[in-house]
Amino acid sequence: MLYRRLRHTRRRLLSLRHWRTRLVFWGGSLLVGAISAGFAEIASVADDGFHSLSASHEYLTLAIPPVGLALVAWLTFRYWPDAGGSGIPQAIAALGIRKERARRQILSMRIAVGKIILTILGLLSGASIGREGPTVHIGASIMTSLGRLARFPPQALERGLILAGGAGGISAAFNTPLAGILFAIEEMSRSFEERTNGTILIMVLLSGITSIAILGDYTYFGSTDAWLAAPKDWLAVPVCGVIGGLLGGLFSSAIVYGSQRIAPFAKRHPVWLAVICGAAISLLGLISGGLTYGTGYHEASVVVSGSGSVPVGFGILKMLATIASYLSGIPGGIFAPALATGAALGADLAPLFHSTPAGAIVLLGMVAYFAGVVQTPMTAFVIVMEMTSNQEMLLPLMATSLVAFSVSRLICHEPIYHSLSRAFLVRGNTEAAKGTAANAGKRTRPNAPAATAAEKESEQAPVEETPRG
């Protein structure tokens, strides 16, 4: 037995096929980290550019969201129809699509390029979107494309590469490696598999190192040392958890049911839908003094650090702007806008707790709303902890996240990304079934040609294991 294991190990170490798999996987991890870092820089410039224009020409910029979103919607509908929305639903759906050809429609290098271009244009148009969900889509697309190039087996594409690409995208986008790993396990895979998670760990490590080498080691919202010092301060935990979970559940329900209700109109008139949603974004931007445009990073960072404030009610306006941006059908994520909304919610609730540090209430509001929206409680408290470099708030964040998750599930019974992924999953499997039926019809024709030697060889080819680095 020992001899056979040693021989098997030696064969794997000397196998050119296995080394090719490892090199492609490692190279893909580095590529995801580099592209994520570059995407972050360009997205930040686009976001800052629109805010600068809005500050100097407030009324002129009111015309930009309707026109800009119409252009992005037309480009999406015309050239990248599967690049719309966050991108996380596409990555989740790809895990359940049975045929590789159908999976290629939503995960490919072409989709990755389109996702970057369209998200940047959306930020230049003032849409309330983030780059984190698109980064997951990009990471999964890059890894699966490289897997096809290296002829990885289907099992590796379905689990290891898609999950690792998504985890690497989250890690590189926020510089939050633990949150990237947890999100891939908790939200995308909904399972714990030893082989797959080894792949995820290596992917997050390599992509994270690459991103840090380009952008430097940083905390997304800066550092804060706020914490709950007295036992009575813990009264803020259930209050923030319930309100954040309630609003997060309402947001998710609005996105899910809104997408379903307007789907027929969106299919017939995608550009007009984008114009309507863009007009709503302009109106909300006018009411908020331009604060609801873009990712919400600047508004959240000043509230978290305590260096500034936002008007009361900004969180509700930001939530409405994000709903309008998502329903427009353009590519863009909800991570950053959700965190900004949650930070504003915490700032609004802080005056209710006079003796509790306002910075701590802001963090509780942020984790509560985020957990209510995404319904991934572990990812929520870990990502907020990593983004603010505040380990002292771990237990309060954990408790608030669990309360918000429970409240949100009473309103929105299924996590938002899984609900949104169903349309991609049904369409992908339907197209795959049609292709299978068509191929079966060809095989039943009397004069159909016999299978080629290459086809027979591919059908009988041995299955490799998921690359573990």
- Output the domain CATH number for residue 136: 1.10.3080.10
pLDDT digits (tens, 9 = 90+) for 258-287: 999 999 999 999 999 999 999 999 999 999
Residue 433 within a domain: no
Residue 134 within a domain: yes
pLDDT digits (tens, 9 = 90+) for 67-111: 999 999 999 999 998 999 999 999 888 888 878 788 888 999 999
Residue 401 within a domain: yes
pLDDT exceeds cutoff 90 at 243: yes
Residue 37 within a domain: yes
pLDDT of residue 462: 41
* Cα 463 from Cα 152, distance rounded (Å): 9
Span 46-51, mean pLDDT?
Answer: 94
Domain that holds residue 296: 231-418
**In the listed set 398, 418, 438, which residue is the last one of a domain according to the structure?**
418
Give CA 240 to chain center in angstroms.
Answer: 24
Residues 30, 79, single domain; the answer is yes
C-alpha dihedral over 301, 360, 346, 417, to 10 degrees?
80
φ, ψ of residue 403 in degrees (nearest 5): -65, -45
Which DSSP string corresponds to 272-286? Answer: HHHHHHHHHHHHHHH
Residues 315, 186, single domain; the answer is no
Residues 312, 392, single domain; the answer is yes
- In the structure encoding, which two tokens stand for residue 413, read together? 């019974």
pLDDT of residue 1: 59
Lowest mean pLDDT among 126-140, 152-166, 383-397, 418-432: 152-166
Residues 198, 337, single domain; the answer is no
Residues 66, 96, single domain; the answer is yes
Residues 210, 278, single domain; the answer is no
Within 8 A by CB and 6+ apart from 192, the residues are: 185
* Cα 304 from Cα 226, distance rounded (Å): 9
pLDDT of residue 400: 96
pLDDT of residue 444: 53
Give the rounded percent of residues in the chain with a pLDDT score beyond 70. Answer: 84
Residues 201, 244, single domain; the answer is no
Give CA 176 to chain center in angstroms.
Answer: 13
Total domain count for the chain? 2
Residue 469 within a domain: no
Residue 249 within a domain: yes
pLDDT exceeds cutoff 70 at 156: no
Residues 273, 128, single domain; the answer is no
Residues 202, 101, single domain; the answer is yes
Residues 164, 278, single domain; the answer is no
**In the listed set 215, 240, 256, which residue is the last one of a domain according to the structure?**
215
Residue 468 within a domain: no
* Helical segments of 184-235, H only: 194-215
pLDDT of residue 410: 95
pLDDT digits (tens, 9 = 90+) for 416-459: 999 999 888 877 777 656 665 555 565 555 454 444 444 444 44
* Cα 122 from Cα 124, distance rounded (Å): 5
Residue 452 within a domain: no
Span 247-262, mean pLDDT?
Answer: 95
